[in-house]
Amino acid sequence: MTSPEPIYTLADLDTWSFPGTALAVLGHPIKHSISPQMQNAALAQMALSDPRFASWKYFRFDIAPEDLPAALKKFHALGFKGLNLTVPHKIIAFGLPEVAVTPAAALIGAVNTLLRTEHGWAGHNTDGYGLANGLKENLHHDLHGADIILLGAGGAARGAAVECLQRGCASLQIANRSRANLDTLLAQLAPLAGKIPLHGFTPNVAGSVSDPVPPSGTLVINATSAGLKPTDPLPIDLSSLPRPAGVYDMIYNPPETPLLAQARSLGIPSANGLSMLVHQGVRALEIWSGASVPVDAMRDAVVKAMAAR
Ligand code: NDP
């Protein structure tokens, strides 16, 4: 079941007449997005104590990649307060003159949250914050001081790696299917790592989890898209992972990927990426509103939206 929130397009901006403070998520496709339910639930809760927020509303738009520059200009001219960007816009927007990227987002090479400024947009990235807080919430794991195996070398993995290194993880091993993409990411991260041990490997799903074998207490974070389909292969075999350990999968739909199913069968504490979605959204709404944001209302809304699918 899709969300009851309408999907708007670029053409709808020509007749846009919403009188309040507008926020929106832009993606292509966008029909999977449950951000409107999550953000509007928070705004409804915030309006109970601050009437200012009663006139705030969050919309969703399907914007083709080639239309993004024109769309950003129109959203700005119409007075939108803030935007979220999802696939494929996070990386495209990074290079646009309409977006002034914050130094933190510049390290990641992608922006997911735009805040209106006088002449354009300030581009933030709240995914790393979302990951760090999701891990704390679900697995009681702090990135600071943690030994981490990060799976993937795409956009999500890069954001996660930057967050791990900036928060002072104890060590970071990155595993990726394609060696070339892995090597590119390792080279980009090397200056940020400083003295933190940073290694890469190509996972051997039939063999040991990594070489050298990671210490007990290691946290495995899946930032690959392996697991979106039930027939996808395991991105890594957890059976030789020393215990205790933890597994976090950024994927939340399906709620249990093959990796999470293996973690459950091995008795390893694990969680899916729903909490990351919530906390990146919390940070985005804090940036737009400058107010304190009700996390519980947002979490309840995404759980309800996922159950309705
Ligand atoms: P990208 O397309 O940029 O990267 C995909 C990564 O997955 C690459 O490292 C790729 O490896 C790897 N991969 C793809 N298929 C397989 C496979 N069959 N086996 C092993 N590895 C594979 O995607 P993103 O980085 O943008 O997103 C990655 C995941 O993170 C997605 O599932 C997305 O839904 C999730 N995500 C969740 C968020 C949340 O809020 N919970 C936020 C952002 C992302 P290779 O280099 O070899 O091609």
Give the pLDDT confidence of 83-104 residue by residue, as tens digits.
999 999 999 999 899 999 999 8
**Residue 202 included in any domain:** yes
Q: Is the same domain home to 258 and 283?
A: no
The answer to whether residues 56 and 160 belong to one domain is: no
Whether residues 158 and 239 share a domain: the answer is yes
Residue 150 belongs to a domain: yes
Say if 174 falls within a structural domain: yes
275 Cβ closer than 6 Å to some ligand 1 atom: no
Q: How many domains does the chain have?
A: 2
**Band of pLDDT at residue 309, cut at 50, 70 and 90:** confident
Residue from 206, 213, 149 nearest 175 by CA: 149
Tell me which residue has its CA closest to atom 6 in ligand 1: 224
Q: Are residues 110 and 151 in the same domain?
A: no
Rounded CA separation 44/118 (Å): 27
Same domain, 265 and 285: no
The CA 260 to ligand 1 mean position distance, Å, reads: 15
Is 132 inside any structural domain? no
Q: Is 27 in the pocket of ligand 1 (CB under 6 A)?
A: no
Residue 117 sits in the same domain as residue 223: no
Instruction: Give phi and psi for 283, each to the nearest 5.
Output: -65, -40
Residue 45 has a pLDDT of 98
Tokens describing residue 72: 């950003």
Question: How far, in Å, is the centroid of ligand 1 from the Cα of 234?
Answer: 13
Is 287 part of a structural domain of the chain? yes
In the structure encoding, which two tokens stand for residue 268, read together? Answer: 């390893």
229 is catalytic: no
How many Cβ atoms sit within 10 Å of the Cβ of residue 193?
Answer: 17
Indicate the DSSP class of residue 66.
Answer: G
**31, 73, 90, 136: which one is catalytic?**
90
Cβ atoms of 35 and 280 closer than 8 Å:
no
Q: Is the pLDDT of residue 106 over 50?
A: yes
Classify the C-alpha dihedral 30-33-37-40 as positive or negative: negative
Question: 78 is in which domain, residue-wise?
Answer: 7-125+275-308
Q: Can you give the pLDDT at residue 4?
A: 63
Q: What is the pLDDT of residue 228?
A: 93
Per-residue pLDDT at 2? 44
User: Which of 224, 248, 275 for a ligand 1 pocket mutation test, highest count of atoms within 8 Å of Cβ?
Assistant: 224
Arithmetic mean of pLDDT over the chain: 94
Residues 97 and 118 in one domain: yes
d(CA 185, CA 251): 21
pLDDT in tens, 199-250: 999 987 555 577 778 999 999 999 999 999 989 999 999 999 999 999 999 9
From atom 36 of ligand 1, which residue's Cα is the shortest distance away?
250
260 in any annotated domain: yes
Ligand 1: residue whose CA is nearest its atom 39 = 277
Answer yes or no: do 241 and 266 share one domain.
yes
102 lines ligand 1 (CB under 6 A): no
From the CA of 226, how far away is ligand 1's center (Å)?
7
Q: Helix (H) and strand (E) counts for the chain?
A: 10, 13
- Same domain? 19 vs 105: yes
Query: Does a structural domain hold residue 1?
Result: no
Q: Are residues 35 and 101 in the same domain?
A: yes
Is residue 153 in contact with ligand 1, taking CB distance under 6 Å? yes
CATH number at residue 106: 3.40.50.10860
Q: Please tell me what DSSP assigns to residue 227.
A: T
Same domain, 74 and 63: yes
Q: How far apart are the CA of 295 and the centre of ligand 1, in A?
A: 26
pLDDT per residue as tens digits for the range 117-173: 999 999 999 999 999 999 999 999 999 999 999 999 998 999 999 999 999 999 999
